[in-house]
């Protein structure tokens, strides 16, 4: 495959879910500012609908193509097939010089595969994260490994991610440590004062005492682990009158039904709709601690200096644990409650964990990615 002989490089950015929109928004902004170099096209698969639209609106991203793929309770084989077929049609029509994807979702895997079938080069943002456990997180760990084989440019957020790729035999010339673009997004939001709407939301929550922000949505936790996790949250609030819990609930029915069933009806537990990113960032900022199974929130909490209890058995971001910001607590009820109470009551432990660290980047990852593409795209055809 060689690049067509034209002045601008056509880059197609593909976005499927909420975290992809947040983490690609800074890259889209950066590429769009270099209009003399890049012919930028944006395609959303809309693997997520409402949560994606919420982010597109906030970051003022206007997709050129929308595959509108989401279905209620979508199953992985159908979702994968719809993205694969949809993206194949898009690539035939658009013929981009490069496809840019982010993370580890089904959109990312199926898009990389569709691009491979048409010999279109792929750039992978947030490359190299691994737990080395194929079912944790599921299916994301395998998605990442497969995309690692398919991509031509690997934008690793940290040196640890780079090491993972090298260990799998990825050509070192194709790996670039850039930092994570989520830090760019976080700093972008925090550089602007809160809007009235964001302020009103925080006031309406009437938080007294210590605010604990919670999110949980992972497929490997469906069923008993999620039940156990919710019981832990309820016990924590019941035993600690100074705690208010705010939980924006993921719209997946398999999450909602359990969470609503086990956590409604307590005046210090707020189950709310997913928040626009800017509001969620403000919420994290005013929290005492965060309990989550989200990948992105682990990174943001580290940058904000908010202690995190990671509600998972394994993390592909061991940096957060090594840096002392996070504790891996899994979904066991007793373990979650006892670790959370330790953090509520032990001031010196809390102070040690509540320190902001720059391990995931300095807020200039998108700039680095755009620089690398600008330098490499016209020249580096040898491994395509």
| Site residues (vs ligand UDP, CB under 6 A) | 18-19, 22, 182, 215, 217, 248, 274-275, 277, 280, 294-297, 300
Are 49 and 55 within 8 A, CB to CB? Answer: no
Q: Is 242 exposed, middle or buried (0-12, 13-18, 19+ CB in 10 A)?
A: exposed
Binding mask 92-131 for ligand UD1 (x = CB under 6 A): ------------xxx-------------------------
**Residue 275 binding result from ligand UD1, ligand UDP, none, given CB thresholds of 5 to 8 Å by partner type:** ligand UDP
Please pick, from the candidates 252, 272, 314, 374, the single residue that binds ligand UD1 as defined by CB under 6 A.
252
Q: Minimal distance in Å, beta carbon 296 to ligand UDP?
A: 3
**Residue 73 binding result from ligand UD1, ligand UDP, none, given CB thresholds of 5 to 8 Å by partner type:** ligand UD1
Q: Give the number of other CB atoms < 10 A from CB of residue 73.
A: 7
Token duo for residue 269: 């537990």
CA–CA separation, 257 and 121 (whole Å): 41
SS3 350: helix
By beta-carbon proximity to ligand UDP, the closer residue of 277 and 288 is 277
* Closest listed residue to residue 328, CA positions, set 289, 356, 361, 292: 292
By beta-carbon proximity to ligand UD1, the closer residue of 217 and 368 is 217
State the catalytic residues: 104, 126, 140, 217, 219, 250
DSSP state at residue 8: S
Q: How many CA atoms lie within 13 A of 55 on its CB side?
A: 24
By beta-carbon proximity to ligand UD1, the closer residue of 209 and 253 is 253
SS3 67: coil
Only one residue has tokens 């601690």, namely: 289
CA–CA separation, 15 and 102 (whole Å): 8
Q: Minimal distance in Å, beta carbon 292 to ligand UDP?
A: 7
Q: Minimal distance in Å, beta carbon 81 to ligand UDP?
A: 22
Backbone region of residue 188 per phi and psi (left: phi > 0; alpha: psi in -120 to 50; beta: other values)? alpha
Q: Binding to ligand UD1 (CB under 6 A): which residues in 12-31?
A: 17-19
By beta-carbon proximity to ligand UDP, the closer residue of 300 and 367 is 300
By beta-carbon proximity to ligand UDP, the closer residue of 105 and 178 is 105
How many residues make up the chain in this entry?
A: 384
Token duo for residue 27: 């890259």
CA–CA separation, 36 and 377 (whole Å): 14
Q: Give the number of other CB atoms < 10 A from CB of residue 235.
A: 16
Please pick, from the candidates 13, 51, 87, 289, the single residue that binds ligand UD1 as defined by CB under 6 A.
51
Q: Minimal distance in Å, beta carbon 2 to ligand UDP?
A: 35
Tell whether residue 82 is a contact of ligand UD1 (CB under 6 A). Answer: no
Q: Which residue's C-beta sits nearest to ligand UD1?
A: 105
Tell whether residue 74 is a contact of ligand UD1 (CB under 6 A). Answer: yes
By beta-carbon proximity to ligand UD1, the closer residue of 110 and 278 is 110
Please pick, from the candidates 152, 217, 268, 306, the single residue that binds ligand UD1 as defined by CB under 6 A.
217
DSSP state at residue 244: E
Tell whether residue 57 is a contact of ligand UD1 (CB under 6 A). Answer: no
Backbone region of residue 43 per phi and psi (left: phi > 0; alpha: psi in -120 to 50; beta: other values)? beta
Q: Residues interacting with ligand UD1, by CB under 6 A?
A: 17-19, 47-51, 70-74, 79, 104-106, 139-140, 217, 251-253
């Amino acid at each position: 495959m060689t690049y067509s002989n034209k002045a601008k490089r056509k880059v197609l950015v593909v976005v499927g879910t909420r975290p992809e929109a947040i983490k690609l928004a800074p890259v889209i902004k950066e590429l769009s500012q270099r209009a003399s170099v890049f012919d930028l096209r944006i395609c959303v698969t809309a693997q997520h609908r409402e949560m994606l639209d919420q982010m597109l609106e906030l970051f003022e991203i206007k997709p050129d193509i929308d595959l509108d793929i989401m279905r209620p309770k979508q199953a992985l084989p159908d979702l994968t097939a719809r993205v694969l077929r949809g993206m194949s049609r898009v690539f035939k029509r658009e013929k981009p010089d490069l496809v840019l994807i982010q993370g580890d979702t089904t959109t990312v895997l199926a898009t990389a595969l569709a691009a491979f079938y048409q010999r279109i080069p792929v750039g992978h943002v947030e490359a190299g994260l691994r737990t080395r456990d194929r079912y944790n997180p599921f299916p994301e760990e395998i998605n990442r490994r497969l995309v690692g084989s398919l991509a031509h440019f690997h934008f690793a957020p940290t040196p640890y991610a780079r090491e993972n790729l090298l260990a799998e035999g990825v050509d070192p010339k194709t790996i670039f440590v850039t930092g994570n673009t989520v830090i760019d997004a976080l700093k972008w939001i925090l550089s602007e004062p809160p809007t009235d709407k964001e302020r009103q939301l925080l006031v309406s929550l009437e938080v007294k005492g210590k605010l604990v922000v919670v999110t949980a949505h992972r497929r490997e936790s469906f069923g008993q682990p999620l039940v156990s996790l919710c019981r832990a949250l309820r016990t924590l609030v019941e035993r600690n009158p100074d705690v208010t819990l705010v939980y924006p609930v993921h719209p997946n029915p398999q999450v909602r039904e359990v969470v609503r069933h086990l956590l409604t009806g307590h005046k210090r537990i707020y189950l709310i709709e997913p928040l626009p990113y800017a509001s969620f960032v403000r919420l994290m900022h005013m929290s005492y601690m965060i309990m989550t199974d989200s990948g992105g929130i682990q990174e943001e909490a580290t940058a904000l200096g908010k202690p995190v209890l990671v509600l998972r058995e394994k993390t592909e971001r061991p940096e957060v644990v090594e840096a002392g910001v996070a504790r891996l607590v899994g979904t066991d009820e007793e373990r979650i409650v006892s670790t959370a109470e330790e953090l509520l009551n032990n001031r010196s432990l809390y102070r040690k964990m509540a320190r902001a660290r720059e391990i995931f980047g300095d807020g200039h990852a998108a700039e680095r990615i755009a620089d690398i593409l600008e330098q490499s795209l016209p020249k580096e055809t040898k491994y395509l």
